[in-house]
Each structure stands twice: as structure tokens, then as C-alpha cells.
Amino acid sequence: MTGTELARRALPQRLGTRIKRTFGAWGVFFEGFLKHPVMVGSIIPSSRFTIAKMLDPVDWDECRLFVEYGPGVGTFCQPVLDKLRRDGALIVIDTNPMFIDYLRKTIADSRFTAVLGSAENVREIIREHGHEHADYVLSGLPFSTLPDGVGPAIAKATHEALRPGGAFLVYQFSARARDFMARHFKRIDHGFEALNIPPCRLYWGWKDSPDES
């Protein structure tokens, strides 16, 4: 391999390192998007308006375990930890080792756990960490671009992982996620946040309590 070819192959890595040094968390997020656009879905993190509206229905007094899929650089993590009870837990799951490594280095909270893995395995993951069910699961995964079968599998696994009365919180740029959710969640509330780039759809799928089934 020639020196020119080696330099060409090393260019994306040098560019990513420069972006991270210059822009911090945003640089890490941008590099993650460049490497895995299908899984990240957006070029910049969610806005504070999206975060506030998405988390508004959560009953924090009753939340012992909050799970997030695709946390990226932790845009939702600190807002969740700020509201989470002292004996609660936040588990985030991502398939991107760069994001998981970043979160483990930057979030120092005993209630926080970052797991390298797939949302399809959420039930096994929460049990491995000493929990039977999650109270709330948040997802910003781009359902419309996930490989065939992955979206439905995640929606099914999430419904099974939630306690009765819990909810699946989803923010998306398309309505496809709602189709997957509707197969398992009878009640789905919806909203819209224009103050986000791009504007996004919000969904809250509620798992029936035993007396509602």
C-alpha cells in the first residue's frame, strides 16, 4: 500500500478527531452520524423543547427504572437523571461503541449504566442489571431506516419489558414508528415539536394496567 493510500484511509479518522476536539459532545455526535447515519438518524442532538415535551408525561415518583435506546452523546441523560429518584436507575443501550465509551467517561452518576448492545435484547439487559421491568423506555432510533424486522422486534420487546402502566416514549421524523407501536400498545398519545431540527413527531405508547386489559 502506498503512502498516498495510507493517508487517504487515515483522513476520516483525523477529521473525526479534529471535530471532537473542536466541538466536544456535538463533534462526537456528528462523527457518530457520519459513521452510522442509518442508526443515528439526525445530524444534531434533540432540542431542549423536544426533551421537555417528551419527558413531561413521566411520573417520576413511580419511576424506578428508565431505559433509553440510542442515547448518542447523552442529550436526554442528564435531564432524566435530574428528575429521577435517588434510588432509581437509568440504563442506556446503544450499538455504537464510540457513544457508549463517551457516556461512560462523561457521566459520573451511580444510577447510570451504559450498555453496548441492541434494543431488541432489552429484556435480557435489564434482568442482567437486577430489574424485572422498566417503568419507561425512551427511543430516538430512526424506525423508518432500521433493517427489515428490527423495528417490529424492538416494539415487541419493549412492550414485554415494560411494567403494566408504563410507557414507550418515541420521538421520530416520520410516522412509521407509530405503526410498529400500534401492534402492541392500545393507547398511543401523540404530539409534535416544531422547535427541533428537523421538527419531530412525539409518541407515548402506554402499556395497559391489568384492570384495563
8 Å CB contact between 179 and 110: no
Task: Tell me the per-residue pLDDT of 9-27, one tens digit each, with 9 for 90 and over.
Answer: 444 444 444 444 434 554 5
pLDDT at residue 173 in the model:
85
- The order of strands in the sheet holding 112-116 is 112-116, 89-94, 65-69, 134-139, 162-172, 200-206, 187-193
In CATH, the number for domain 37-212 is 3.40.50.150
If phi > 0 it is left, if psi is from -120 to 50 it is alpha, else beta; for residue 103 that is: alpha
**Does the structure show a pLDDT above 60 at 28?**
no
If phi > 0 it is left, if psi is from -120 to 50 it is alpha, else beta; for residue 206 that is: beta
Higher pLDDT, 37 or 159: 159
Residue pointed to by grid coordinates 410507557 = 167
Task: Tell me the per-residue pLDDT of 118-135, one tens digit each, with 9 for 90 and over.
Answer: 999 999 999 999 999 999
Task: Tell me the per-residue pLDDT of 69-109, one tens digit each, with 9 for 90 and over.
Answer: 999 889 999 999 999 999 999 999 999 998 899 999 999 99
Query: Can you read off the three cell numbers belonging to residue 20?
Result: 471532537
Range(s) within the chain of domains with CATH label 3.40.50.150:
37-212
**Structure confidence at residue 46 as a pLDDT band (50, 70, 90):** confident
8 Å CB contact between 84 and 111: yes
Dist. CA 171–CA 193, nearest whole Å: 9
